[in-house]
Amino acid sequence: MTRARILPDRALEERLLVRYPLVGGMDEVGRGSLAGPVSVGLAVVSRATPAAFPAGLADSKQLTPRRREALVEPCRAWAVDHAVGHAAPAEIDAVGIIGALRLAGQRALAEVALRGHLPGAIILDGTMNWLRPPTGPAPADAAEQTTAPAAVTPVGPAASVAVASAARPIPSVYTSVKADAHCAVVAAASVLAKVERDALMTALPDPGYDWARNKGYTSPAHIEGLARLGASDQHRRSWHLPGLDRFTARAAGADPAPLRAAAPVQAPTRTVAVADAPAGPAAGRDAHWA
């Protein structure tokens, strides 16, 4: 039995637009992959944004690659502004996945801010506010919030698309469970992030990891590539990389164990203390101030 697709609407973003002239939706992609950047998409809407969002818009995970690609230009045209920020594998190793998500999100915000479109509020998918710096109390207003310390210099292919993170105010943040499915502006951000990151992974020189198909995620071909070739500069070396033990054993002259199919491996995330944000208008559904 096919599960019905959740259709997005604009209810949450329209409530926030009563208070804020610009509202952004953010979503990440690549958080659980073994290689490549983690990417954060941002779409910004205003009170003048057309009520009708692109036909067929949905959470990027519910769409075929062809449909996602077809939605990119309509999403860009519908939004006031948009950006995709990236954090490279070496940055993920240096600051952890939550810190890397923050870097990528800050880079996306910095890009739209340069064009005068910094949103006053952000809707994040999920329950964790990974955009806020991990230390310090929540300020009384978004204008008083500041970014985290200077970012690590981007490395690898992500450097060509990363935007330097400047010291800018962090918008107020709403978190909402499944916002990428039920909130149109977050769904648009998810499509933009997914298509851009997929293109980056497909364009990488590939000595045998099958980037074009697995996009850096766990797959039998990816595990076999790690067993034969070891880890590349695109791999998150602080993570457990299935198959790498066979390569290491071979390099040490030991007899490697037979390759076994492995389940997708998610790196352990660091616990981040997130203070409560100021009281705001009722957000509806599962949304809450974060």
Q: Which residues are annotated as a binding site for a divalent metal cation?
A: 27-28, 125
What one-character DSSP code corresponds to residue 127?
S
Q: Which residues are annotated as a binding site?
A: 27-28, 125
Element containing residue 123 per DSSP (H, E): strand 121-125
- Cα angle 25, 39, 33 (rounded to 5 degrees) comes to 125
Phi, psi at residue 175, to the nearest 5°?
A: -110, 145
DSSP per-residue letters across 6-61: PPPBSHHHHHHHTT-SEEEEEEEE-TT-SBS-EEEEEEEEETTS-SSPPTT---GG
State the amino acid at position 201 in one-letter form.
M
What is the phi-psi region of residue 175: left when phi exceeds 0, alpha when psi lies from -120 to 50, beta otherwise?
A: beta
Distance separating alpha carbons of residues 24 and 186, to the nearest angstrom: 8
Name the token pair of 131.
């955009």
